[in-house]
Amino acid sequence: MGARRTAGLNKETRPASKRVDQEVLTELSDRELVERCQRGKLEAYGELVSRYRNRVYALALSMVRNEQDATDLCQETFVKGWQAIRGFKKNASFYTWLYRITTNLCIDHVRRRERRPTVEFQEAVDPDADVDVEVPPSSQPLPTDEVRRRELRELIEAALERLSPEHRVVVQLREFEGLDYAAIAKAVGCSMGTVMSRLHYARKHLQKLLRKVL
């Protein structure tokens, strides 16, 4: 009887213990979590993934401009991060280190995509085929301000698309992630001078592109 009662208590307290462990992990700093990861604690890496998943995805999406590709690259980033975590230097910043993995993967992906042969639209569509175009039902008109914001966002995204991956990533890290020049330099693996030069070029290029349409 006593053994059964003890077994029952163990089953009841196990989930609570896991919850406590998770609460402890959320209170640890990145550096403390990395140290646990280097000892093989996968749950500590899970906490780091939770902290940076959205930011890594946003960075990947800004560079590759495709949601599925960004999702795949986000997953690949964290896989490579786990594989390389033992070589992480403790005096470095984890998120900068992680962003460098992300940017390298994204730049490689964009370069591979640009080398792929493309099929002209006219060649891909049979001109003699019957094409049924389904027109969606009209929806309620959007408020003027919302329409303008959406149009401006689309214009900015289209302008960013015209930048090279190397220029696009420094804009993303500076303007959207708020990283300073030193952190960006570490994330993309170049000097601060190069970061500043790329930002200057990217901003000037974006202004020129947007001036034509605004």
The answer as to whether 107 is a domain residue is yes
Amino acid found at 147: V
pLDDT at 114: 74
Tens of pLDDT, residue by residue over 11-46, are 444 455 555 466 689 999 999 999 999 999 999 999
Q: Which segments of the chain does DSSP mark as H helices, in order? A: 2-27, 30-38, 42-64, 67-84, 94-115, 121-124, 144-161, 165-171, 181-188, 192-213
Q: List C-alpha distances in Å: 136 to 69, 73, 133, 139, 159.
A: 27, 33, 10, 9, 28
pLDDT at 37: 96
Whether the Cβ atoms of residue 101 and residue 77 lie closer than 8 Å to each other: yes
> Do residue 24 and residue 93 come from a single domain?
yes
pLDDT at 20: 46
Enclosing domain of residue 38: 16-116
> Do residue 35 and residue 93 come from a single domain?
yes
| pTM score above 0.75 | no
Tokens of 56: 């890594």
The answer as to whether 39 is a domain residue is yes
CATH classification of the domain holding 24: 1.10.1740.10
The answer as to whether 135 is a domain residue is no
The answer as to whether 101 is a domain residue is yes
